[in-house]
Amino acid sequence: MDRLDILESRSVYILREAYACARPLAMLWSIGKDSNVVLWLARKAFFGKVPFPVVQLDTGMELDEVYAYRDQYTKEWDLDLIVIDCPPESEMDPSLPPMTRAAARKSAGLANLLADGGYKGIFVGIRRDEEATRAKERVFSPRATDGAWEFRDQPAEFWDQYTTDTPENAHLRIHPLLHWTEIDIWRYSQRENIPINPLYFSQGGKRYRSLGEKNITAPIDSDAATIDEIIEELEMTREPERAGRLMDTEAEDSFERLRTSGYM
């Protein structure tokens, strides 16, 4: 087995283990490159049919190409899609910086989903190498009902032994891609021929490396117009993946505040 086979096998195991231990389940689908890979793996894990709903937390600020991708592949892959309209920015914590406050709408949308749906497990396509606070995550991460995260009080995960019990009045965030890297995602997408949102490819010297809402995300300078060129670029660059996510650098603790209060 090569590296991609090993990554795939481990993620499929996590998906199936979660399905056996924490139901009802749902999967967040941001329609970015990582969540598309999780969805692809789920289709493999369950023989072509995803046996739980996929959820888009919609602020109404996604780029047109994101909505087009969602509509095309929801139908093509026969997905049970739930679209959650996130609460308005005026209802978010006013002490947060502006961009961070806009991003917090998705945390609030997820809290509403959990309150209404009674879900015991939520799949999220994050990776440890994306950002420092995500590096502290567990594969099976218990969260309060409102999404609050006590990152200093998490179950140990040694030798892929996971704690899959769901505490009372809580849910599990389940992260099947935590052990992948950004280049792994691109190499796997290329190998599997996963459909790619065109926003990731350079147009006029700009492309999205980390795809977020149009009011809080900026494209980066890049001439990479194919997956091979993106991989070559990633092997050379020293720029962080989330350089275009404006809320990450708005204040020193912006992203940590978002994540401890429920952000993905």
| Predicted TM-score (pTM) above 0.85 | yes
Q: Can you point out the beta strands (E) in the chain? A: 25-28, 54-58, 81-85, 121-123, 140-144, 170-174, 206-207, 220-221
- Kindly list the averaged pLDDT for each block of 10 residues, start to end, along the chain of length 264: 96 96 94 97 97 97 96 98 95 88 91 90 94 87 83 81 82 95 98 97 95 90 97 93 77 76 78
Look up residue 3 and give its two tokens: 């590296």
Secondary structure in 3-state letters for 184-225? HHHHHHHHHCCCCCHHHCCECCEECCCCCCCCCECCEECCCC
- Structure confidence at residue 165 (pLDDT): 80
Residue 109, Cβ density class (10 Å: 0-12 exposed, 13-18 middle, ≥19 buried): buried
Residue 87, Cβ density class (10 Å: 0-12 exposed, 13-18 middle, ≥19 buried): middle
CA nearest 166: which of 128, 114, 212, 207? 114
Sheet containing 121-123: order of strands:
81-85, 54-58, 25-28, 121-123, 170-174, 140-144
Rounded CA separation 123/92 (Å): 24
- Structure confidence at residue 146 (pLDDT): 76
- Structure confidence at residue 252 (pLDDT): 67
- Structure confidence at residue 105 (pLDDT): 93
- Structure confidence at residue 261 (pLDDT): 76
Return the CA Rg of the chain: 17
